[in-house]
Every structure is written in C-alpha cells, then in structure tokens.
Amino acid sequence: MTALQERARKVVLSTVSSDSHTWNLVFLQLLLEEHGFEVVNLGPCVPDEVLLDAVREHAPDLVVISTVNGHGHLDGARVVRRLRADPLTCSVPAVIGGKLGIRGAGDRDKVHALIEAGFDAVYTDSADADELPAQLELLAATGTAGRRTPERVA
Amino acid sequence: MSGTPDLQEHVRRAKEAGKLVVQPRMGFAAPEEMALGLRAVARARATTIGTITLDSYTRVGDHVGARRALGAGHPLNGYPIVAHGAHLTEAVAAYAVDDRTPGAEPIPVQVRHGSANPRAIFRTAIMAGLTASEGGPVSYCLPYGRTPLAESVRNWDAAVVELADGAGERGARAHLETFGGCMLGQLCPPSLLIALSVLEGLFFAQRGIPTVSLSYAQQTNPVQDVEALAALRLLAGEVLPSHVDWHVVLYTYMGVFPRTAGGAGRLLDASAELAVRGGAERLIVKTAVEADRIPTVPENIAALERAARVADLATRTVSAVPWAADADCSELLDEARALVAAVADGGDVGKALVRAFAAGVLDVPFCLHRDNLGLTRTRIDDDGRLRWAHTGRLPLPAPARSDGRIGAHRLLSMLRFTADGHDRAALRERTPRALPADRPYRVAVVGSGPRGLAVLERLAARLIADPPDGPVEIHLYDPVEVGCGRIWRTDQPPWFLMNTVAGEVTMFSGPPDGGPARPGAGPSLAQWWQETDPACPGPNGYAPRPLYGRYLRFLLDTVERSLPPRVTLVRRRTEVVDLVPDQGGYLLRAADGESLRADRVVLVTGHPRPSLDSAQQRLADFAADRPELLYIRGDSASDMPLDRVPAGAKVGVLGLGLSFYDVMVALTIGRGGRFEEDGGALRYLPSGAEPVIVAGSRSGVPIPARGRNQKPSRYAYRPRVFTADRVRALRRAGRIDFRAEVLPLLTAEMELVYYATEIRGRFGEDVAERFAAEAAADPASIESLAAHFGVADLPRLDLDALSRPFAGRGFAGREEFTAALLDLIDDDLRHAEQGNVDGPVKAACDVLRDTRGVLRLAVDYAGLTPGSHRGDFLSWFTPLASFLAAGPPLLRLRQTRALIESGVLVVVGPSVTFDADPASGRFTAVSPQVEGARIELDAMIDARIPAPHLDRDLAPLPSRLREAGLWTGYVNTHGDERFETGGVAVTGAPFHPVRRDGRPETGLHVLGIPTEHTRWFTQVGSGRPGSWGEFVRDADAIAAGLMSGLPATDRADRADKAERAGELL
C-alpha cells in the first residue's frame, strides 16, 4: 500500500488545554515522522479553538491527542465533541492516548466515554509504541469509516 | 508586619556553618495543611527553607477558577495564594518556625509558582510579607505554555519591578531565584542552562532585585554537573552587578524519575552529594512519589532529612564526584560565556532575550514553543555527558561529532537515561546477579604505565562509590614490571631523571584529605617522596625515574587495598600477543601461553618500538656487517644496551633532545664519573671508563633548560589572547591553517608574557597588569605597546632565532663553534636561573607548556587541514615547541657545559649528518657549518624518541589488531587532501578504536601514545595536582565506560519498550 501512496499522511498532533507536558509531544512527533507522517505539532496547553482552527487549516488525515496530566478524560471529551460538531472537522479520524485519568488501571471506564464522545481509538498507559504507527496509518487510510469498526482499546 | 526572614542572609549563615540548605517543593490547597507543612519543614533535622507552591489555576491567572474549585471542594495541586488572599497567607507563613526549640528563629518562606505572568501573585505575596519567589521570563514561558515570549518579558518586567519596590517599601530585600537552570527539566546541555540562569539573574538585577539565586538542575553526569556548578558560579561573578547578593541553588533531577524507591533514593542522594561537592548553597529536593501524586508532609520531611544527612557525609566519603575546585569547567564556562556575550550587550537583557530567541542565538533543544527556533538538539554521550548534537544558530562551534538525527527511540532512551541508570543500580543492590557466580565481569588493562594506572585509579574510585554486587576481576598486564611499566621500571639506574618537577606530578585524582590514601584522595609525588625519603629536595626537585616507578607501584598497591569486596586485581607479568572478539567479549592470549576471556579491554600500551626507517636501517645494517661497530636504535635510554659502548670509543649520538641527556648521563655518571662544584660552575672528574661522545642535531644545540620552577603545584595559566574561545571560533569556521590562524595567537600570548614579565620586574605588578590588559585588547600591537611601557630595549622574542640560534652562521673551526655554544649555554643558564615566572624568556616559553590544552582544541580530531597538520604542525612547530618548552632540569645544562670543557662531549655543529663510510669502515659525523675534518666514529646511538606509527609498530598485539581491522590508522582528510597520520583512530571519550568498517569497537578503549596524531601530545606520564586535566578526565571517561558494562540484573533489563513508552504516550 505504501508504494501507491501519493503523499505523506498529515497528522495534527496536540494535547488538551490544561496539559503543559511536552516530552510526549516531542516523542510522538519523531515517531510519526519516522513512519512517514507529516506532523503539525501544536505544542502544550492547546485551547480547543486552536486545535479546531488547525484542523480546519491543515485538513489532516488524522488528529492525535496525547495527554498525561490526568485531565484527558474531561478535556479530551470536550474538544472531540466540538470537533465532531463542526462540519469542517467532523469527519477527521481522531485518537487520544496517555494518562487519561488519575487512577491508572482504574480509568478503563473512561475509554468508553471517550469513544462515545467521538474518538476513533483510545490508547491507555500500556500502549505499545512500536505498534502505534501502523495502527494510525490504518486509521488515516480508512478515514471516518474506521470509527465504526470495532473499538480499538489498547 | 515583619514578614519572613531574609532568604539570602539565611543561606549565607548556613554556608558559614558548613550546612547545605535544603528545601521542598511543597504546596497544599488547604491553609491549615499548608501551615502545618511549613511548621514540619521548620522542625526538620536539617537547615531548611519553607516553600509555598501554588496550584495550576493560580499559575495561569485563573483566580476565579481557583475560588470556584475551593468552594466546590475540588482538589487543587497547590496553594491558591491569590484566592486565599494576603491576610490568610501571612497567618499561614507564620507557622514556619520550629516551635519545639525554645528561641528558634522562623525560617524564610519562598513562593514557587510557574507563572508566565506573576504580577498578582507577587502583589499578594508582598502584602503577606513574603518577598522571596522564583521563575523567570524565559523559563516560565517557553517550556510550558503559549504566551509569546515578548509578552512574558513584559509581564515579568512589571512584576519584578513591583516585587523589588514592594519589598523595599516594607524594609525587606526581595529575592528571586531563576528557573533558567532547569528549563524543560532534562536534555538541555549544561552550558545553555548556565547561560539562561545567569541571564535571568541579570534580568532580575537590572530591575532592582537585590538578592538573587541562580539555579541549575541535576543532569546526567555528576562530573559534568560539578563542572557546570563551578562554571555557573564563575560566570555569575563576571556578569552580575557587584551590589547584588547571590547564591547557587541546585535542583534534584527534574526529568523522568526512577520508578523504584531505591533508584529514586539514590538519585536524591546523588543530588545532595553534587550540591556539596559542586559548591551549591541550597538544594531543592524531590520525593520518590512526585511523578505520581502530590507528596505528603512526612514524605517531604523524609526527603529533606535524607538529603541533609547525605550532604553532611559528602564532605567525608570516597566519591566518584570531584570537588568544584578540582573540576575543569573551562569548556562549559567558555560555551556559557559565549552564549551570554551574544545576548547581553550591556543594555536591557529583557529585550535582548526576545531578540536572541528570534535569531536563534538562544535555542532550547526540543522546546516546542513557537518563539523557540528549535534548530538545536542534545545527545547523551557514551560517558553520560549531555552534549550538543546540533547547535543550530547558537554562537557555538558545531559539534565535533555529528551523529545524525535523534530518533524517537533514541529520545526515549535519553529521557530515561538517568531514571534507568538509578533503577538498575538500585536493583543490582538488592537482587542477585543474573550471571552464574563463576562468571565475573572481567576488565583487562593492557599496559601498566601511568595511563593504565590512571584508568585503574578512576575505576576503583567509581567501584568504591558504587560497589558491584557480582564479582569483578581486573587483569593488569605488563611484560616488564606490573605497576609502573617499562619506562618507569624500578630497577633502572637512579641517574635517569623525570622531566617534570615532583610537585607537578600526581597519580591520585584528588588531594590527600587526612584519611588514608585511596583512589580519589592521595599524595602527589612530591608529598609521597617527602614522606618516604629525608633526602627529598622538595616539590621543585626532579625525581629519579625509578623513584617515580616506586610511587606508581605505591598507587597500585593503594588501589588494590581499597577495592570493595568482590572486586579483585590480578597482576599478570606477561605480554598480550593476541586479542580476538569472542562471544560479546574478547579472548586475550598472552606470551606465556595463558588465555583470558575479558568483557572489556583497555589498550594502554605506551611507547612503541617501531621498525626502523630507511636511513636508520642503513646505519644498523652497516654495523651488523662489522663486528667492530655498534649501532643502538632509538628507545628509552634505560633500555639501550649502552654497556656495549667501549671505554675510549668515539660514539656518535644523533639528537640533542631529552633522550640525549639520558644517554650522556649514562655514559658519564653511569661509568663512574663525577661532577664537582667549582667556582659557580661544575667540573667533570672522569673515571676513565667513558667513551668520547660526539653529538649533533639539526640545530646543533642541546635542548635548553626548563626555567627554575617558580609556579605553585596547583598553578593554572589563564591565556589572554590564545584562548579556548578563539580556537573554538576558528574550528567553527572550518579547517584551520596552523601557521596563518593559530600561530599568531600563540606568539602574541608568548610576547604578552615576555614583556609583561620584564615590565613586572622593572615597574611592579600593577604596571605589568595594565600592560597585559591593554596587550590582550590589541594583540597585534604588543611590541609597540611594550616600547610605550618602557621596555623597548628588550630584544624581540624571535621563536625561530631561539630554536635555531646558529642558522645561517659559519664557524672557522671546532674551537670557534664550541666557544659560541658555551656562550649560548651560559646565556640559557642565566635565563633558566631567573625562573619560569620572573625570567622573561623562560616565562614566555612556558606558555607553550601551559597552553597545550588550548592547542589540542585546534589540532585534535583533524582540526587542521591535512597539509598544515603535517607541514606546519608536525614537521615545524612540534620540534620547535619541544626545543623551547620541554627542556631538562637546569642541572643537565651545567653538566653538559662541564663535559664539553673536559673533552668528553663534542658537539659537532648544526645540520649534522651522521653517515656510514664503507671506505674507512666507520661511521662519520660532519657539520657543513663548521670547518674542519669530519669525525670518524666507532659507534652510533640514535637518541631520538621513536615517533609512534601504527603501520610500523611491529609488536604482536598492534599487528594483530591492525590485521583484524580493530585498529585503523587515523587519516586527516579534507577535500582532495589526505594525511595518513599513523595514529590509531579513536572516537571521542571514552575512546573506542574505530574499526575498518568505520564503526567504533565499543568493548575496547585506547588511550595514550598509540593514539598520538589523532590527538596531540599524548606522551603525558602523570596527572597534575589541582583541577582535573585531560589526563584524569580521559581516564575517568574510560572508567565510566567500564562501569557501564557491569552486568545489569534481569529485572532491570526487563523494562521493555512498551512499558517505557507508556509513560509518555
């Protein structure tokens, strides 16, 4: 498939509005670039409107939200609902991952709530970085159709 | 309202009492909890300062949100100072006193916040009597948020002025701590942290803050961190206005923290030791749980007390961490200084910071902020040091080694480097090793001269500080004498002397500290000599070589005695003749037939015995065919068969350098002759067993004496013109032409010292200092400046004339030449007597010794163009520098004079040719500049130290390594130019050989003479008291490399990638 690919798939990489961590974003940018994605990295503390504007402007193949401050289940759900509510951004595949709550393994229920809110996949703490790019490639390729496929819960 | 005590004064008093101030990062939302926390900190068994850390609502200025959360009972991650207000906060801060100790003073309390706009925070704090805080316009903007830098600078500008004024109005001194020494918490090279910390300190000072602290966060390598703390102190002294009172504060590691309690504890301990050894006055600690949740009060107190305990111990224990005074911080200091200089132009540093980031003159690696260009990258070297991988547009030299892109997994392992290292160490402590007990970790050190012993000393110091839990074997090989090696063997005659005064020689990486001698703390050669020999002439005496050999063996015995349990030293008196890679390690075969399987091998084989070149071979062959003739090849004089030179024979000696003196003494004193004082000069009393020594060289002059030493043992010269900065700038600009670019700087430095010394002698220190300052500012006009200062009568300093005094002169006969030579020697003796500080000529020549480190920066790893390297540097400059600066003790010149007068020594003349004459069947010597008959000779000695050359080294081990492609010759290539140097190609520290396939062989290390030409001036046989020079640093880098090979436990290894990534995804 990669041989037929016409251009690099574009990813908007972001975190949520309350999260000031950046090393996760630096790492993911490198990882995604190494796997052929073109990455627009929005940096830390991204207000919802900034993320929406970036998606409208860049029309990416995929939105990746990484957050580790424990507020991801709230802030993430809010921003993805806005993403799905806007006609310009509603069809872009979006995933979220990281430390989504503050209870570690006890945050499993939050995964379903986030899928419910509009994410196509949710990656928790124990996700394997080596498999991630291939899965994202698949998501980006299949587009929103992927959203209704069996939920990806790592 | 009195407010809390002055933070800076509290720190000053603690320093006077020899105590490290420790402080938590503590903050609770509830006033009661915050108050009790402060009281617990005041009560702790430690010298403390209290902290109120604010919550993230307050950090971003959302005070309404903070109030709402408080009202709803939602947890906050800190103390919302604005929401609680000044009145309540003042009452909370009043708890910061140890109520259980009658008469105890309150402790200062500092507000920590993380805000890019701290105005409201400062305002409330001042009203609450809290005038100490922290942060910075850069460090609280770039790492965390989206506030534009220019806006952050404006915010901070107003806030800082308000804090300074507000505190002043209350009769208090405001205090601000920079956060610039931390930035993203990890992976920022120390020089940039130092620069940012100092620049933010200057920003505060320019806005009227009277007391400042400069932060630095613990990074990846403790030695580098000590250097950084030392450099930070020096640079702050240079940059901050003198009316500002300041101190240095260290943060316990701020990056990814170890996951095991043991690892976290070790990291905290390491930071406390680092603070003490590095000279920081205050330490902000971290607790093991911080990464997961807000630590409780008891957890905070436990960390404070633990850090205080370790700090007290740190002054007394063996440590792999040097003291700041012993660390060579020049590289970091030069880098940080260059960064600061490129930003601070004397005007407002606030605007300058914005400009600097916009231009990329400052650029924080991996920082995503849009006002940060993001062209720089960091890497962690094999020795654990943080270095620049890409310098972007920073005003710094491009990295010596470029290793391409930093990928995701490499980034991950760098982020986890410190955490993993400490977790592994902690696990090793507890868990039995994975390896079977009969399989120790084996290190082989091939060669037991000073280089090998220095590696052993540092390895031992590190093993003592971090004892292994499995068996470790160190096998030390030497074919001649284990513990000192061939050159310093103890059974050589005592008339061979060292060429360095005893006070400048040490093999311990730290000075004696009152405890027993041990790795890291032991006597210099002079101290040891004085203790063991009443006839020791003192630190300015030159020790006999066998005596140094005994000192080296004392070192090895001391190292062996100090090794921790389970570490054993095996001494092997045999030659290693083969080495082949074997199951991830190496199989070594020795000349005695024994084999050893080693995990790591250090190759420190020292002076080679290369094959003869064609001219030498011709003379050797000539003698081989004629039993009445004798040819002795170049070698260490004590290894030459000099006994075979018959009494009364005429023996030619080629070369008038250091080896010449050894040969001369062996053939005179060694034959029973004596020197006697006779009216201020020496007279030679022959034994009758001497040959007639007929010596010559290109210059025709025995190498001049070193000036009488007047420099203290710990002397370190600070160049004014030929600076590391300038050389780095040259390297940045590309390949260097030695003659055009380096030589002018070096000669200007020598001229500066030459004239300054004379001026000091005539007009005193102050005038000399003024001259030196003006000369440094305008190096091109030193001569005319000197004339202006009244020393126009001093002859010009002419290096060519000094090194070739007889160039272009002809002599009517031997007598005329000899008279001229004796005059020259008398002149030299006068200069040498004046000393290397007070004598202008010898002081100037000593610059060549004192700036070897700077010269290495220009030359090592192909700094020069291939042509300049071979032509200017090796063929012309190196012999000149040896002639002028590597001289023997003054005594040797007095003896030379006496031997010439007695007729035992004949110096042939300049441009001498030694040849073989088939007609007469004898060797001949002739100088084209001295009229008269050629001299016929019965024997020939080549008294030049053989230059090392990989391809000509015929010893079995180098040959095998070369054949196997493990050793390759270093080639200096540039464009079409190629210079095959003959040195072994090695990486930077820890000096792995570069294989034929271009990759480093990471189980091997090569140090010293085999690497000559890849690096320069490797024939160093000792460290120097005082700061760690390259000799110790190189050895320590290898020791660190050897430590990194210690087997990790299976548990630590199991930290699989998925789990590691999970923390970041």
Is B1065 in Cβ contact with A97 (below 8 Å)?
yes
- By residue count, chain B amounts to 1065
Give pLDDT, residue B291.
Answer: 66
Which residues in chain A have Cβ-Cβ distances shorter than 8 Å to B367?
22
Size of interface A-B (CB pairs under 8 A): 86
d(CA B232, CA B229): 5
> Do B698 and B757 belong to one domain?
no
The set of residues, in sequence order, having a beta carbon less than 8 Å from that of A74 and lying 6+ positions away, is none
Q: Strand (E) positions, B447-502?
A: 472-477, 497-501
d(CA B362, CA B357): 5
Give pLDDT, residue B664.
Answer: 98
Each residue of B62-114: pLDDT tens digit?
899 899 988 888 778 899 999 999 999 999 999 999 998 888 999 999 999 98
Q: Is the pLDDT higher at A6 or at B649?
A: B649
Which residues in chain A have Cβ-Cβ distances shorter than 8 Å to B406?
30
Is B408 in Cβ contact with A25 (below 8 Å)?
no
Assign B824 a pLDDT band (cuts: 50, 70, 90): very high
H or E element, residue B525: helix B525-532
Residue A97, chain B, CB below 8 Å: the answer is: yes
Q: Which of B289, B312, B343 is the last residue of a domain?
A: B343
> Do B106 and B196 belong to one domain?
yes
Give pLDDT, residue A6.
Answer: 57
| Residue B790 is assigned to a structural domain of this protein | yes
- Looking up residue B643, the CATH number of its domain turns out to be 3.50.50.60
Give pLDDT, residue B586.
Answer: 94
Q: Is the pLDDT higher at A130 or at B50?
A: B50
- Looking up residue B322, the CATH number of its domain turns out to be 3.20.20.240
Those of residues 32-71 in A touching chain B at CB distance below 8 A are 34, 41, 43-47, 50, 66, 68
> Do B570 and B534 belong to one domain?
yes
d(CA B336, CA B192): 6
The token duo for B846 is: 């000593």
> Do B57 and B120 belong to one domain?
yes
Each residue of B416-442: pLDDT tens digit?
999 999 988 877 665 434 445 568 999
Give pLDDT, residue B1044.
Answer: 83
The token duo for B1036 is: 């320590």
Helices (H), B795-889: 799-803, 814-834, 840-850, 852-859, 866-868, 878-885
The 8 Å CB, 24+ separation contacts for B368-376 are B368/A22, B368/A25, B368/A26, B368/A41, B368/A43, B368/A44, B369/A43, B369/B141, B369/B142, B369/B143, B369/B145, B369/B146, B369/B149, B370/A43, B370/B146, B370/B148, B371/B141, B371/B142, B371/B148, B371/B149, B371/B150, B372/B142
Cβ proximity of A18 and A45 under 8 Å: yes
d(CA B281, CA B175): 15
H or E element, residue A133: helix A132-142
- Pairing between β-strand B245-251 and β-strand B282-284 as defined by DSSP bridges: parallel
| Residue B156 is assigned to a structural domain of this protein | yes
Which residues in chain B have Cβ-Cβ distances shorter than 8 Å to A31?
408
Nearest CA in chain A to B256: A23
Q: Which of B343, B370, B389 is the last residue of a domain?
A: B343
The set of residues, in sequence order, having a beta carbon less than 8 Å from that of B95 and lying 6+ positions away, is B35, B36, B38, B39, B42
CA B183 to chain A, closest CA, distance in angstroms equals 12
> Do B598 and B674 belong to one domain?
no
> Do B699 and B846 belong to one domain?
no
Each residue of B151-199: pLDDT tens digit?
999 999 999 999 999 999 999 999 999 999 999 999 999 999 999 999 9
| Residue B710 is assigned to a structural domain of this protein | no
Give pLDDT, residue B1.
Answer: 44
Each residue of B688-718: pLDDT tens digit?
999 999 999 999 999 999 999 998 877 878 9
> Do B199 and B304 belong to one domain?
yes
* Mean pLDDT over the full length of chain B: 92
> Do B42 and B142 belong to one domain?
yes
CA A3 to chain B, closest CA, distance in angstroms equals 23
Question: Which overall architecture, per CATH, does domain A10-66+79-144 show?
Answer: 3-Layer(aba) Sandwich (3.40)
Give pLDDT, residue B987.
Answer: 87
Each residue of A101-121: pLDDT tens digit?
655 555 667 888 899 999 999
d(CA B656, CA B654): 7
Residue indicated by tokens 């090592």 = B860
The set of residues, in sequence order, having a beta carbon less than 8 Å from that of B280 and lying 6+ positions away, is B20, B216, B229, B247, B248, B249, B250, B274
CA B189 to chain A, closest CA, distance in angstroms equals 16
Q: How many C-beta atoms surround the C-beta of residue B870 within 10 A?
A: 18
CA B78 to chain A, closest CA, distance in angstroms equals 15
What is the tally of structural domains in chain B?
4
Whether B1026 shows a pLDDT value over 60: the answer reads yes
- Pairing between β-strand B472-477 and β-strand B567-572 as defined by DSSP bridges: parallel
| Residue B431 is assigned to a structural domain of this protein | no
Each residue of B910-936: pLDDT tens digit?
999 999 999 999 999 999 999 987 999
Cβ proximity of B706 and B836 under 8 Å: yes
Q: Residue B264 half-sphere exposure, CB side, CA atoms within 13 Å? A: 18
Residue A139 CA to chain centroid, in angstroms? 11
Strands laid side by side in the B282-284 sheet: B47-48, B21-23, B282-284, B245-251, B211-217, B175-178, B132-135, B109-112, B50-53
Whether B405 shows a pLDDT value over 80: the answer reads no
- For residue B671, give its domain range: 614-703+890-942
Among A127, A132, A142, A42, smallest CA distance to A92 is for A142
Assign A145 a pLDDT band (cuts: 50, 70, 90): very low
| Residue B1003 is assigned to a structural domain of this protein | yes
The residues with which B916 forms a beta bridge, in sequence order, are B923
d(CA B856, CA B926): 37
- Interface predicted TM-score (ipTM): 0.87
d(CA B211, CA B244): 6
Q: How many C-beta atoms surround the C-beta of residue B85 within 10 A?
A: 13
CA A86 to chain B, closest CA, distance in angstroms equals 24
Each residue of B355-393: pLDDT tens digit?
999 999 999 999 999 999 999 999 998 889 999 999 999
Nearest CA in chain B to A69: B292
Give pLDDT, residue A1.
Answer: 39
Is A26 in Cβ contact with B1065 (below 8 Å)?
no
Whether B1047 shows a pLDDT value over 80: the answer reads no
Nearest CA in chain A to B60: A18
Assign A8 a pLDDT band (cuts: 50, 70, 90): confident
Of B56, B145, B1057, the CB nearest to A129: B1057
- Arithmetic mean of pLDDT, B569-577: 96
Nearest CA in chain A to B255: A23
> Do B771 and B896 belong to one domain?
no
Q: Residue B69 half-sphere exposure, CB side, CA atoms within 13 Å? A: 20
> Do B560 and B659 belong to one domain?
no
Among B259-263, B600-604, B668-672, B1048-1052, whose mean pLDDT is lowest?
A: B1048-1052
Each residue of B245-278: pLDDT tens digit?
999 999 999 999 988 888 898 999 999 999 999 9
Assign B403 a pLDDT band (cuts: 50, 70, 90): low
d(CA B182, CA B201): 14
Cβ proximity of B1007 and B961 under 8 Å: no
Q: Strand (E) positions, B620-680?
A: 630-632, 650-654, 674-678
Give pLDDT, residue B732.
Answer: 80
The torsion angles phi and psi of B259, rounded to 5 degrees, stand at -90, -20
The token duo for B424 is: 């592994």
Give pLDDT, residue B432.
Answer: 38
> Do B165 and B252 belong to one domain?
yes
∠A40-B414-B584 over CA atoms, to 5°? 130
Of B370, B407, B1065, the CB nearest to A30: B407
Residue indicated by tokens 């050893």 = B596
| Residue B17 is assigned to a structural domain of this protein | yes
> Do B880 and B926 belong to one domain?
no
CA A48 to chain B, closest CA, distance in angstroms equals 13
Give pLDDT, residue B128.
Answer: 96
Whether B1058 shows a pLDDT value over 90: the answer reads no
Residue indicated by tokens 């034959």 = B671
| Residue B414 is assigned to a structural domain of this protein | no
